[in-house]
Amino acid sequence: MRLPRMITVWLAGAAVVLPVAACSPDEPAPGKAPDAASVAPTEEPEPVKTHPFTGKPYQSLRPVLAVKIENTSAGKPQLGLKSADIVYVEQVEAGLTRLMAIFSSKLPPKVGPVRSARISDLHIAPQFGKPAFAYSGAQTKLLPFIAEASLFDVGDTRNPGAYFRQPGRFAPYNLFADTKQLLAKAPKASRAKDIGFTFGDPPAEGGVPRKSYTVRWPAARFTFTWSEAKKQWMIAQDGKKDMAAEGGQLSAPTVVVQYTKTERSEFHDFNQSYTPLVHTTGKGTAIVLRDGMAYKARWERESEDGGTTFTTESGEPLNFAPGQVWVALASRKPVIP
Task: Determine the Cα–Cα distance for residues 207 and 288; give it in Å rounded to an integer.
Answer: 9
Task: Tell me what the mean pLDDT of segment 15-26 comes to.
Answer: 43
pLDDT tens for 114-125 read 999 999 999 999
Task: Determine the Cα–Cα distance for residues 337 and 70; give it in Å rounded to an integer.
Answer: 31
Tell whether the model's pLDDT for residue 12 goes beyond 50: no
Residue 136 is inside which H or E element, if any? none
Tell whether the model's pLDDT for residue 233 goes beyond 80: yes
Q: Bigger pLDDT: 202 or 8? A: 202
> What share of the chain in percent tops pLDDT 70?
83
pLDDT tens for 192-225 read 999 999 999 999 888 999 999 999 999 999 999 9
- The 3-state DSSP class for residue 8 equals strand
Q: For residue 200, what is the DSSP state?
A: S
Task: Tell me what the mean pLDDT of segment 283-311 comes to.
Answer: 96
Query: What is the rounded average pLDDT for all residues in the chain?
Result: 87
Can you say how many angstroms the Cα of residue 100 is from the centroid of all Cα atoms in its chain?
A: 13
CA distances from 165 to 71, 243, 250 (A): 17, 21, 23
Task: Determine the Cα–Cα distance for residues 326 and 266; give it in Å rounded to an integer.
Answer: 28
pLDDT at position 48 is 79
pTM of the model: 0.84
Alpha helices in the chain (DSSP H): 119-124, 143-148, 179-184
Report the DSSP pairing between strands 254-259 and 261-268.
unpaired
Task: Determine the Cα–Cα distance for residues 2 and 12; give it in Å rounded to an integer.
Answer: 30
- 332 pLDDT band, cuts 50/70/90, is low
Tell whether the model's pLDDT for residue 280 goes beyond 60: yes
pLDDT at position 324 is 98
Tell whether the model's pLDDT for residue 2 goes beyond 50: no
For the beta carbon of residue 264, count every other beta carbon within 10 angstroms.
10
Q: Worst-scoring range by mean pLDDT, 28-32, 225-229, 231-235?
A: 28-32
Burial 152-181 (b: 16+ CB within 10 A, else e): bbbbbeebeebbeeeeeeeeebbbbbbbee
- 31 pLDDT band, cuts 50/70/90, is low
pLDDT at position 9 is 37
Beta bridge partners of 262: 278
pLDDT tens for 245-267 read 999 999 999 999 999 998 888 77
Q: Which residues contact 256 (CB under 8 A, 6 or more apart)?
A: 286, 287, 288, 289, 297, 310, 320, 325, 326, 327, 328
Tell whether the model's pLDDT for residue 5 goes beyond 50: no
Task: Tell me what the mean pLDDT of segment 299-310 comes to.
Answer: 96
> What share of the chain in percent tops pLDDT 90?
75
Task: Determine the Cα–Cα distance for residues 107 and 131; give it in Å rounded to an integer.
Answer: 14
Q: Bigger pLDDT: 142 or 40? A: 142
Task: Determine the Cα–Cα distance for residues 161 and 182; give it in Å rounded to an integer.
Answer: 9
User: Minimal CA–CA distance to 222: which of 40, 91, 83?
Assistant: 91
Q: For residue 2, what is the DSSP state?
A: P
pLDDT at position 331 is 84
Tell whether the model's pLDDT for residue 310 goes beyond 50: yes
User: Minimal CA–CA distance to 226: which of 288, 325, 292, 295?
Assistant: 292
CATH architecture of 65-330: 3-Layer(bba) Sandwich (3.50)
